[in-house]
C-alpha cells in the first residue's frame, strides 16, 4: 500500500516538473488525451438533460398544442360558415333589383326546430321586428312561408306547415281564398266563393290584403278542386323548395305606402301665374305656369300687377262659366224685359207737436 502511494506521488511530481518546464510537446500530448474525454462527457450529460426535459414537460406541451388546435379548428369552421353565407347572399343580391329594398331584409336559416320536421326553421333575426307579428318569406320570387318572433327568436313556418296561412287570389277572376299548409309541396285553399269559376292549372298568387306579402307573388298551381256545401276548396302544388331553406327575403312591411299619411288639409294647392296677353289682347292658355306656393307673391303685389290687365270675364274666348260635368256649356239667359222708370216721391215734413203748458210751472209774480 505504501509503495503504491509512493509511486503515485513520484508520478505526480514528475508531471508537475514537466508542466512547469512549459514544454509544448508534452502539453499537446496531454490535451490530446484529456479533451476527447471532456467532450464525450459533455455530450453525454446534455443528452441526459434533453431527455429528462422532454419526458418531464411532455404533458404540458401536449395540452398547449391541443388548445391551439381547438382554437384553430373553431376559426376554420367559422370561416367556412362565413364563406357559405357570403356565397348565398351574393347569389340573392341580383334579385333585389326587382323588389323594394327599403321593405326587404335578408335572413338565413340557422337550424331546424325539430330534427324530424322540415317545415319549421329558426332564422337570423333582423332589427326592428315586432313580437307576434307575421312576416312573409320569399324564396326565388315565390312564396316560401311566414315568419314570427317568439321568445326573442325568429321562427319560420314553410308552406308545408299548418301554421303557414295567408291570403291569395286564384286564376284570372281573382277568386279570393286563404292558403293553409298541408304537407310537402302542397297547400289547401279554403273559403273560396262558389260563384267563382276556377279550374285545375290556374295560377295562385298572393293578394297583398293581409299585410304579410306584397301582391302578385307566385304561390303555386291548382291541382284539385273540391266543391263543398258553402264554399269551394282547392288543392295547389307550391313552387318553393322546402328541402333547401338557405337564404330568404323577409318582408318587413307589406302595406301600401303611396297614399300613406295623406292629409288634404295640409296639402297646399298650386297657384297660377297671371295670364300673358298678346299684342292683340288675346290670351295663350298654354303658357300658364304653375307657381310654387312658397315662391308665390303676396296679394298686394298681385293686385298691383293686375291693375292694368283686363279681367278674365271680359275675354270673349273664355266662357263665363265652365261646367266639367256637362259636355255643352249653357250660358245663363239674359232677361229681355225692361224695368219701369222710377217714380218721384214727394217729400213730406212732419212738424213736431207743441208742448202743453203746465199750470204748476206758471210764474204768478
Q: Report which DSSP code applies to 277.
A: B
- Residue 138: name the closest of 171, 103, 169 by CA: 103
- What is d(CA 78, CA 111) in angstroms, rounded to the nearest whole number? 16
Per-residue DSSP letter, 159: T
Alpha-carbon span 56 to 117, nearest angstrom: 53
Give the chain's residues under pLDDT 70. Answer: 1, 17-23, 26-27, 31, 90, 92-93, 95-101, 257-365
What φ, ψ does residue 166 adopt, rounded to 5°? -160, 170
C-alpha grid cell for residue 324? 266639367
Which residues on neighbouring strands pair with residue 183, listed in sequence order?
186
- 3-class DSSP state for residue 272? strand
State the pLDDT at residue 294.
47
Taking the C-alpha atoms of residue 193 and residue 177, their distance in angstroms, rounded to an integer, is 8
Q: Sketch out the chain's domains with CATH numbers.
A: 99-251 (2.40.10.350)
Alpha carbon distance, N-terminus to C-terminus of the chain: 200
Task: Please check whether residue 170 is in contact with residue 188, taking contact to mean a CB–CB distance below 8 angstroms.
Answer: no
d(C-alpha 281, C-alpha 50), whole Å: 117
Global pTM reads 0.52
Query: What pLDDT does residue 82 have?
Result: 75
Q: What is the pLDDT of residue 272?
A: 46
pLDDT reported for residue 276: 52
Query: Which DSSP helix (H) or strand (E) runs through 106?
Result: strand 104-112
Amino acid at each position: 500500500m505504501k509503495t503504491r502511494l509512493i509511486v503515485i506521488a513520484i508520478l505526480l511530481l514528475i508531471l508537475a516538473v514537466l508542466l512547469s518546464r512549459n514544454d509544448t510537446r508534452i502539453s499537446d500530448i496531454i490535451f490530446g488525451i484529456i479533451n476527447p474525454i471532456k467532450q464525450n462527457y459533455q455530450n453525454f450529460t446534455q443528452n441526459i438533460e434533453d431527455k429528462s426535459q422532454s419526458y418531464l414537460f411532455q404533458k404540458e406541451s401536449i395540452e398547449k398544442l391541443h388548445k391551439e388546435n381547438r382554437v384553430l379548428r373553431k376559426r376554420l369552421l367559422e370561416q367556412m360558415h362565413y364563406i357559405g353565407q357570403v356565397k348565398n347572399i351574393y347569389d340573392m343580391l341580383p334579385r333585389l333589383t326587382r323588389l323594394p329594398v327599403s321593405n326587404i331584409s335578408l335572413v338565413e336559416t340557422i337550424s331546424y326546430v325539430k330534427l324530424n320536421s322540415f317545415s319549421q326553421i329558426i332564422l337570423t333575426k333582423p332589427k326592428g321586428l315586432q313580437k307576434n307579428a307575421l312576416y312573409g318569406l320569399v324564396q326565388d320570387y315565390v312564396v316560401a312561408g311566414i315568419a314570427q318572433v317568439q321568445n326573442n327568436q325568429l321562427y319560420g313556418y314553410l308552406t308545408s306547415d299548418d301554421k303557414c296561412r295567408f291570403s291569395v287570389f286564384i286564376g284570372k277572376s281573382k277568386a279570393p281564398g286563404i292558403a293553409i299548409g298541408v304537407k310537402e309541396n302542397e297547400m289547401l285553399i279554403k273559403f273560396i266563393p262558389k260563384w267563382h269559376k276556377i279550374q285545375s292549372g290556374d295560377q295562385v298568387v298572393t293578394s297583398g290584403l293581409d299585410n304579410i306579402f306584397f301582391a302578385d307573388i307566385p304561390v303555386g298551381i291548382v291541382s284539385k278542386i273540391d266543391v263543398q256545401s258553402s264554399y269551394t276548396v282547392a288543392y295547389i302544388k307550391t313552387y318553393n323548395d322546402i328541402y333547401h331553406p338557405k337564404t330568404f327575403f323577409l318582408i318587413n312591411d307589406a302595406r301600401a305606402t303611396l297614399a300613406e299619411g295623406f292629409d288634404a288639409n295640409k296639402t297646399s294647392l298650386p297657384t297660377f301665374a297671371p295670364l300673358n296677353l298678346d299684342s292683340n289682347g288675346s290670351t295663350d292658355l298654354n303658357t300658364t305656369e304653375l307657381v310654387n306656393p312658397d315662391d308665390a307673391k303676396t296679394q298686394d303685389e298681385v293686385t298691383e300687377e293686375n291693375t292694368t290687365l283686363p279681367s278674365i270675364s271680359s275675354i270673349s274666348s273664355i266662357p263665363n262659366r265652365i261646367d266639367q260635368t256637362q259636355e255643352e256649356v249653357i250660358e245663363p239667359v239674359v232677361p229681355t224685359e225692361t224695368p219701369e222708370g222710377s217714380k218721384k216721391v214727394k217729400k213730406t215734413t212732419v212738424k213736431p207737436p207743441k208742448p202743453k203748458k203746465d199750470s204748476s210751472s206758471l210764474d204768478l209774480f
